[in-house]
Amino acid sequence: MTLPRLTVSLAAQRLTWADGVRQQSWPVSTATVGADERNGSGGTPRGRHRIRARIGDGADSHAVFIGRRPTGEIWTPELADTAPHRDWILGRILWLCGCEPGRNRFGAVDTMRRYIYIHGTPPDQPLGVPGSHGCIRMACDDVVTLFDCTPAGSEVWIDD
């Protein structure tokens, strides 16, 4: 079985999924500060990655996660009003692991240790423009669709 490949364009703010036969594309939101691989930078790391772990299978598309664990909450505008500065991680998590030592793996540039994910974001958050703290945000229904067709180990290329 050939694993699908995901490509994230920081310039276009789009994620494209392809398996050699089919292709899909969705708007995303990457880091407000742009590309940066360094720990603490808040940037989206570039280069070749893999899906390290898939989290949230079967959860509600608006289920809330903290520390990669479901909180039992379902995002609503009313819940959002109770925590206006919370960085919401919703629905599904595809946890990324860098594949390029010195660029996005090990030491001060380790994507996995930075907890960089592809994850759902609330519907009131804009897509197609930078706005995250380093992760790749998607609409909740889109990240569920992506999750369902993307096994662990799939390649993710993040490029300017």
**The pLDDT of residue 29:** 98
**The pLDDT of residue 2:** 84
What's the residue count for the chain?
Answer: 160
pTM for this structure? 0.96
Burial (0-12, 13-18, 19+ Cβ within 10 Å), 160: exposed
Do residues 71 and 91 make contact, with C-beta atoms less than 8 angstroms apart? no
Superfamily of domain 5-159: L,D-transpeptidase catalytic domain-like (2.40.440.10)
Please state, in angstroms and rounded to a whole number, the distance separating the CA atoms of residues 102 and 65: 30
The token pair at 123 is 């519907």
**The pLDDT of residue 28:** 98
Owner of token pair 């804009």: 126
**The pLDDT of residue 112:** 98
**The pLDDT of residue 1:** 65
Per run of 10 residues, the mean pLDDT along the chain (length 160 residues) is 92 97 97 97 98 98 98 97 94 98 98 98 97 98 98 97
User: Domain coordinates of the chain in residue numbers?
Assistant: 5-159
Helix/strand/coil (H/E/C) assignment for every residue in the chain? CCCCEEEEECCCCEEEEECCCCEEEEECECECCCECCCCCCCCECCEEEEEEEEECCCCCCCEEEECCEEEEEECCHHHHHHCCCCCCEEEEEEEEEECCECCCECHHHCCCCCCCEEEEECCCCCCCCCCECCCEEEEHHHHHHHHHCCCCCCEEEEEC
